[in-house]
Amino acid sequence: MIPRVYIDTSVIGGCLDEEFRQYSERLFTDFDANRLRPVISNITIAEVLQAPKRVQSLLQRPAVQKAEKVYLDNEAILLAEAYIRQRVVKPGPSRRRSTYRYCDRPTGRYTG
């Protein structure tokens, strides 16, 4: 079984950052060689689509195109909010629930 690795905006953006490029590119090399299986969420796609064009262009990489897509649903939002209410985790610097609400499930496109 090929290990699954979740990629977020920092992994994608890391491809263009001198400090992190080698680490992000190593991951993409492993994705391309089928040593690791990339997983990306509709939220990450929506966030990248709000970034500069050169970052957005990284969504066209074969590893991202073939990545398993996962979607934030209402159950996950409610669970996250319950964790915050119960102080299991602290809220992040910004609670972007509205971003989640306007992220189209099939395409990951931000519609807000």
- Tell me the per-residue pLDDT of 64-103, one tens digit each, with 9 for 90 and over: 999 999 988 888 888 888 888 998 877 766 545 444 444 4
What's the CATH number of domain 4-101, 3.30.70.920, 3.40.190.80, 3.40.50.1010, 1.10.357.10?
3.40.50.1010
Stretch 42-58: mean pLDDT: 93
State if pTM tops 0.95. Answer: no
pLDDT at 108: 45
Enumerate the domain spans of the chain: 4-101
**How much is the pLDDT for 87?**
86
- Three-state DSSP state, 2: coil
Q: What pLDDT, on the 0 to 100 scale, is given for residue 93? A: 61
| pLDDT at 1 (0 to 100) | 93
**pLDDT on residue 17:** 95
Q: Nearest-CA neighbor of 27 among 18, 38, 13, 39? A: 38
DSSP code per residue over 40-86 = EEHHHHHHHTTS-HHHHGGGGSHHHHTSEEE---HHHHHHHHHHHHT
